[in-house]
Amino acid sequence: MNVKVAIAAVLTFFVNFAIADNLIYIDQVGSSATININQDGSGNRVGSSSTNSSSDGANTTMDIDQVGSSNIIDYDVTGDDADITVNQQGSSNESTLTTGTSAGSDSITYTENITGDSNVVTTNVGTSAATDDATITLDVTGDSNTVTINENSSAASITDKITDIDITGSTNTVTATKSGAAQHDTTINHTGSNSTISVTQSGSEASTVDMSTDGSSSSVTITVSD
């Protein structure tokens, strides 16, 4: 089942599905959008294989919930004051959230909760356009998950540019790369064994990495440069 939606102006949008293999594609333009998507089952997708779903406008509030395995989220967000929440429960799911491809954004918040094994989570901020004040909060529970955060933005203070990753499980891989006009921040709380964690922060001076681990045989690499 395919659902394709092109929406302009102010809206509140709800989509609920309890069957597998359905596709939701959203191309939304306008301010003050509220978007809620719920998918249950396996093989579901938000965004097509060739084109990501997208929201372009200020004050976007979005909540995407997927329960099941082999589900995929591909979503681009452009606009100021966006608040994006993703919840995925199950194994072999993929989530790619991106902001700052065609235009910059100011004050964007990503909250991602991932539960299960062998999931792939990617968050891209400030890909090619200037982005300010990005907050990323990621909570992952399970084994063999892959987390990648590419964050390139500026901030007025270190409290405006935050990445907080909590990950529990074995054989997980975390790569966090932060660049831009300083105020980098990054906090990783990791529990588990045999994981690989890499943090790279660069830009004009200010940078904070606060990390704690609990488990054996993990590899941790932290690189900070001006």
Q: What is the pLDDT of residues 32-55, one digit of tens each?
A: 999 999 999 999 999 988 899 999
Domain-located, residue 185:
no
Domain-located, residue 226:
no
| Range of the structural domain that residue 33 is part of | 2-178
Share of the chain above pLDDT 90, in %: 64
Domain-located, residue 186:
no
For 68-184, list the strands marked E by DSSP: 72-78, 82-89, 94-99, 105-115, 120-125, 131-141, 146-152, 162-168, 173-179
CA atoms within 13 A on the CB side of 186: 27
CA distance 174 to 195: 8
**Which residues contact residue 67 at a Cβ distance below 8 angstroms, ignoring those fewer than 6 apart?**
39, 40, 41, 88, 89, 90
The single-letter DSSP state of residue 154 is: B
pLDDT value for 88: 97
Closest CA to 44 of 75, 20, 61: 20
pLDDT value for 151: 87
- Confidence grade of residue 117 (pLDDT, cut at 50, 70, 90): very high
**Which residues contact residue 49 at a Cβ distance below 8 angstroms, ignoring those fewer than 6 apart?**
none
Closest CA to 24 of 51, 2, 43: 2
Query: Over 90: is that where the pLDDT of 84 sits?
Result: yes
The single-letter DSSP state of residue 94 is: E
Query: Over 90: is that where the pLDDT of 190 sits?
Result: yes
Domain-located, residue 90:
yes
Domain-located, residue 221:
no
Query: Over 80: is that where the pLDDT of 225 sits?
Result: yes
Q: Are 39 and 68 in contact (CB under 8 A)?
A: yes
Domain-located, residue 191:
no
Top pLDDT among 204 and 10 is at 204
Number of domains forming the structure of the chain: 1
Domain-located, residue 134:
yes
The pLDDT tens digits for 53-68 are 999 999 999 999 999 9
Closest CA to 125 of 148, 104, 98, 106: 98
pLDDT value for 11: 52
Domain-located, residue 27:
yes
Closest CA to 100 of 165, 59, 135, 151: 151
Triad 161, 75, 190: Cα angle to 5°: 50
pLDDT value for 132: 82
pLDDT value for 19: 53
